[in-house]
Each structure stands twice: as structure tokens, then as C-alpha cells.
Structure 1
Amino acid sequence: MEVLESRCGTLTTRPLDALLDALEPGHTLHYRCTASPVRKPGHTTRAHYNLPAVVPLHGPAADAWWQRQADNAGLKLLTLHSQPVDAARDHLHPAGTAPADRAKNSNRIHHHRVRFDGTATITDPDLLRTAVHSGIGRGKAYGCGLLSIAPAPDPA
């Protein structure tokens, strides 16, 4: 365990090797992922419908996004519960910008977030290991797309 400054708290890390090595096709697990589900429409679609470059997804559209991401991460969803959470917000300042100039030279960062919870069956352990290590979707630097898994009893 590493101790941070007293005002920050403590940090504990645990190896995931045993969990990741035990992943097998057909096993059931619990998952949680707070992600930034978005669609990036093409230039023609954006111009025709006057859309921004990145469109946040809500409700059934966000659930469909998660279904596709889970499939690509080696999971077959059994249950899904989703709920919106507060957006991740920050400002990006160009390197070397003086504090006095930051307000006029900054880009707003905004990652719409939805938390996905449920159970799934493993279809491809290698894809799942990659998703746990690399994350899913955009906004990882702001805590989006970090996939957590835990063993669950296999359905009877």
C-alpha cells in the first residue's frame, strides 16, 4: 500500500492476474462500466441535420451502444441496467499558456457518462482481457470506459 499526501487518502493496488487468468468461455460475471456513449456522425450527416461532431447517446441508444461494445469486448450480456451519471468536465489549456490567458485559450472538455451494470457470459477471454486493460470508448483520461468485472455464479 502506498500512502499519498495526508489530504488525499491512501492507495491500494491489487494484481488482477489471477482473475484475468481464470477467464474462460461460458463463465458468468458481473460487470460495471461508466462510459461515454457517443455517435460520431459523418460530415454530410452533420451538415444536413446541423449536428455537432460528437452526439451523446441516451436511453435505448446508449444501451445499444453498450451492447455493441460488450460484444466487441468478448461478452454476451445477460442483464443490463443503465443510468446516467454526472458528466466529466474539464478545460484543456494549450501547453505554455500563462494562467492569465487560460480563459480565452482553453477548450472545454465534456464527456457525457452512463453507468452500465449487469451480468454477462464470457465469449472471448482474450478480447475481455484487452478491454479490462485498455478500457472501452472515449474519455479514459477522465475515468470513462474502465471496465470492472467480478465472478458470478453460473446460471443453472
Structure 2
Amino acid sequence: MFLTKLKINPAKRASRELLASPERMHAAVLGCFPPGEHADDSGRTLWRLDQRGKVEFSLLMVSPREPDCGGFVESYGWLPGESTRTASYEPLLDGLKMGQRWRFRLSANPVHAVKDPAHPAARGKRVGHVTAGQQFDWLLARAARNGFSMGTVDEPTALVDSRELLRFKKKPTDKREVTVLRASYSGVLQVTDIDALRHALCHGIGPAKSYGCGLLTLAPLN
């Protein structure tokens, strides 16, 4: 697995169009790999857009093979060598230990299934959680199965620090828009299951992974 950070130059018109459309960003991410080679048994390609201020945009990407970012940098980045950085993810994955505490960030699509009373046997429709409390509870309920804890319900070590509703069309000619409710989480987690956490880091958490949701990243406390 590889972790890649790409800096995006918002002064470029193409970059501004890219930043405005998760569908275009998804296509640009897949364009860094040969067709069909963005996922395998070890993991899938996940991405997240991080923003600092109004002009600093970074695309973070985790992938099972090393990406070729030359085309991305030419179209959306700054100078070659200054726009991209790729490193092996294996040292972090192999270094996980029970009880470790890490700072984390996650952008996710917190949803729940709503059943149709007229068709109780049918699969429920996915509906986004709206409030920050509901969104936090969604992640708290999934923490253990993904190999970590975030304190307790009464004394959590994380929070929802931003929320946004994304609206976009998959194709310019589409009449209907895709809507994705995205929540960003940050804080401190503690490792409770190494294998489950590795799986979460490589395969993502929750739905809408094609649209910048699901990527969990860790950083040392100090």
C-alpha cells in the first residue's frame, strides 16, 4: 500500500473545476492508475480532499499500487517535484500495536437505512444523518468493528469538526443530482484490534468512497 499527497494549484481553471466536482476528482484519481488496477485484495484506492485556508488544497490518496501522478500534476498541480509525495504505507501498517494512541482524521458519509413499511423485507433506503450528534454517534457505533476506540460516550476523544452537503451531476447532461452528506472527524483514537484497523485504513469506512469519503489517516500524537 502507498500513501500519496498531491498539492493542487487553485489558480488553474481546471483545478477549480476539479475542486467543485467529486465526480471529476474521482476520475482524476483513477487516471493515476492503469485501467482496473486501482484495487486488489490488499485494499482499494481511497482519497480525501484537505483544505487549509482558502488557497491550500491537498489530495490525500491511499492505494494498493504506486500511482503515476504526472498527468495529475501537469493538469492541476504546481511544479513537478513540489506537487506530489508518495511513500510506502507498510511501515505504519506493520507498526500498529495494541493500546497505541494516534491522532486521526476521517471524512465519511454517515448514513442509516430506512425501511419502507409497505415492503418490510426489502433493503432499506440509505438516508444521511443530519445533526453533528447523529454523525458522531454513527462513527462511535462503528469504532470497535474498525479496530479502535474514541474514549467514551460521556468523554469522547474526537469530534465532528465540519459538515457539508455535496451536490453534483455524474454527467453534465444528467437531470438528477447526486447528493452526499459528508462529515469530517478528528481527534485521538486508541488501537483495540490491529487487523481490523489495518483493514479500515486500507479499505475505508462507510459508503461513498468514490466521492472522497472513507479515508482514515493517522498521525503521531507528538
Q: Decide: shared fold, TM above 0.5.
A: yes
What TM-score, normalized to structure 2?
A: 0.57
Match of 1:92 among 170, 187, 205: 170
- Percent identity (aligned): 28
The 1-side partners of 2:113 and 2:192 are apart by 28
| Equivalent AA in structure 2 for residue 135 of structure 1 | G
| Equivalent AA in structure 2 for residue 29 of structure 1 | W
Determine if contact 1:132/1:148 at 8 Å carries over to the other structure: yes
Query: Kindly tell me: are residues 121 and 88 of structure 1, through their superposed partners in 2, closer, same or farther at Cα, counting changes over 3 Å?
Result: same
What TM-score, normalized to structure 1?
A: 0.78
- 1:138 aligns with 207
The 2-side partners of 1:84 and 1:45 are apart by 36
**What's the C-alpha RMSD, in Å, of the aligned pairs?**
2.5
- 1:36 aligns with 109
Tell me whether 69-78 or 115-124 shows the greater mean CA deviation: 69-78
**Which of structures 1 and 2 has the larger relative contact order (alpha carbons within 8 angstroms, sep 6+)?**
1
Tell me which structure has the larger Cα radius of gyration: 1
What displacement does 1:56 show? 1.6
| Structure 2 unaligned residues grouped into runs of 5+ | 1-67, 78-82, 152-156
Alignment of 1:93-108 (within 5 A): 93=171, 102-104=173-175, 107-108=176-177
What displacement does 1:45 show? 8.6
What displacement does 1:82 show? 0.6
The 2-side partners of 1:77 and 1:117 are apart by 10
Aligned residues, how many? 140
| Equivalent AA in structure 1 for residue 170 of structure 2 | L
- 2:126 aligns with 54
Deviations 1:18-70 (A, max 9, x none): 011010111111111011111111122999xxxx9332212211111010222
Deviations 1:53-91 (A, max 9, x none): 332212211111010222211001130111333333332
Q: Which runs of 4+ in 1 moved over 6 A?
A: none
